[in-house]
Amino acid sequence: MIVLALETTGDTCGVALASCTSAGMNLIELREVFGSNVHDARIAELTQGVLSGGNVLIEDVDLVAVSAGPGSFTGTRIGVSFAKGLTLSGRPQLMLVDTARALAGAAHEIAIAAGRRGVMVVIPSHQDMVYTDSYVLADTGDLVRSPFDSPRLQRISEIEEHCCDERVLVCGPGAGACTPSPISGLTRLSARFIAREACRHPVFDNPLTAEPLYRQEFKGRY
């Protein structure tokens, strides 16, 4: 399966092209730029770049996976709208990917190697507010959403205790606000995280009815 993955929910505007095999994800092309207010102007250019670089036509792509939030309201809508436009004909198919889940998935193997028992994703919102999502390592080694700590919007001061818990790996673009030594590769959003999640757990969405994964209380920034 060939996946075109899009990330526009934060300061990263990125597109990845990957193939999914029984062994996992094989990254073919990745192009990303960083900064505010660049997504609308750059997303089509980056998409064409990865397709050309991978010698792939959009007709050859099986799945367009898009980071669907939580995150910037404007950036998220740009990515989801662009993905829906590419998939309205039914080929490729569409998948909305939970941004926090993709970040946690990217941190999964590192958490195991570091002997951590869980992963907490922190995504900036507005002022001193952050969106958090917590996951725990099950006995099977799988990463599952914590049954005791549902996704929520919180003040940074409210999560300081969790950030200092050495059993938890903190990741996401808001990690630096609550832990002094975040892992640099896990503090930026990336289209390759979206591609990885799509390869691991492919689910198809209807482009006519699909909507960004907004949380009712969540207010993003752009």
Span 139-167, pLDDT tens digits: 888 999 987 776 888 888 888 777 778 88
102-153 pLDDT tens trace = 999 999 999 999 999 999 999 988 778 889 999 999 988 899 998 777 688 8
Residue 222 has pLDDT above 70, yes or no: no
Residue 211 has pLDDT above 90, yes or no: yes
Question: Could you tell me which of 143, 107, 103 has the C-alpha nearest to residue 9?
Answer: 103
| Domain 100-186: which CATH number of 1.10.3720, 3.30.460, 2.30.30, 3.30.420 | 3.30.420
- Residue 184: band (very low, low, confident or very high) from pLDDT cuts 50, 70, 90: confident
Residue 79 has pLDDT above 70, yes or no: yes
Distance of CA 181 to the CA centre of its chain: 21
| Domain 2-98+189-200: which CATH number of 3.30.43.10, 3.40.50.300, 3.30.420.40, 3.20.20.70 | 3.30.420.40
Tell me the pLDDT of the chain averaged across its residues.
91
SS3 9: coil
